[in-house]
């Protein structure tokens, strides 16, 4: 943020859009349960792997960092729950845009295991010494094809101060 503040002209717009790293169940569905066992385990494994690299889920922290930086004004944040999949009644399930977004989210999650395989490999034997990583990823994709999840998207925008 210090570098952004340095290079952004006064009055310039700062924008951040970040997803929370973990999913939620759709409204009224409770928490990730045994029915989505592999998805829940994949998320825990993903969080463990990024924590080993001293990284973390930063989306919720960005607004505070922008405020603490002192170089920005008119700081605003918005939170959006984004549907993933399509096997539940989202408010106004007939809305074609919502269905499109939900299907895009599902396509993204189907590609996720391949994208993070090197990261998973770093913690794999701690979690599943007896299971082949390819089998786990196949099971993950099977669950994703059937799931309905919600992902939180957090937007922060602010104006670079004049002084």
- pLDDT value at position 143? 86
Burial (CB count within 10 angstroms: exposed 0-12, middle 13-18, buried 19+), residue 112: middle
What is the distance between the terminal CA atoms of the chain, rounded to a whole angstrom?
16
From the list 2, 163, 152, 131, the residue with the least C-alpha distance to 77 is: 152
What pLDDT is attached to residue 52? 78
Check: CB of residue 44 under 8 Å from CB of residue 136: no
Q: What's the pLDDT score for residue 33?
A: 53
Q: Please state, in angstroms and rounded to a whole number, the distance separating the CA atoms of residues 44 and 49.
A: 9
pLDDT of amino acid 46: 81
Between CA 49 and CA 54 the distance in angstroms is: 9
pLDDT score, position 27: 67
Report the SS3 class of residue 56: coil
- Please give the pLDDT value at position 158: 98
What integer pLDDT is reported at residue 159 of this predicted model?
Answer: 97
pLDDT of residue 70: 95
Q: Can you give the pLDDT at residue 18?
A: 92
Q: In tens digits, what is the pLDDT along the chain, a chain of 163 residues?
A: 999 999 999 999 999 999 888 777 776 655 555 567 788 878 888 888 888 777 777 899 999 999 999 999 999 999 998 888 866 566 666 678 888 888 888 888 888 888 888 777 777 677 677 778 888 888 888 888 887 888 899 999 999 998 7
- Distance of alpha carbon 28 from alpha carbon 69, whole angstroms: 38
Geometric angle at alpha carbon 126, from 105 and 42, rounded to 5°: 10
């Amino acid at each position: 943020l210090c570098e952004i503040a340095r290079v952004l002209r006064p009055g310039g717009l700062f924008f951040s859009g970040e997803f929370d790293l973990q999913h939620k169940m759709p409204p009224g569905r409770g928490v990730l349960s045994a029915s989505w066992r592999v998805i829940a385990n994949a998320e825990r494994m993903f969080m463990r792997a990024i924590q080993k690299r001293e990284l973390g889920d930063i989306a919720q922290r960005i607004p505070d960092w922008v405020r603490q930086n002192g170089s920005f004004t008119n700081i605003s944040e918005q939170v959006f729950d984004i549907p993933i999949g399509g096997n539940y009644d989202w408010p106004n399930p007939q809305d074609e845009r919502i269905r499109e977004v939900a299907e895009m989210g599902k396509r993204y999650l189907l590609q996720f295991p391949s994208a993070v395989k090197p990261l998973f490999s770093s913690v794999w034997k701690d979690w599943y010494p007896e299971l082949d990583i390819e089998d786990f990823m196949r099971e993950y994709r099977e669950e994703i094809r059937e799931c309905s999840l919600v992902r939180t998207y957090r937007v922060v925008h602010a104006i670079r101060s004049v002084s």
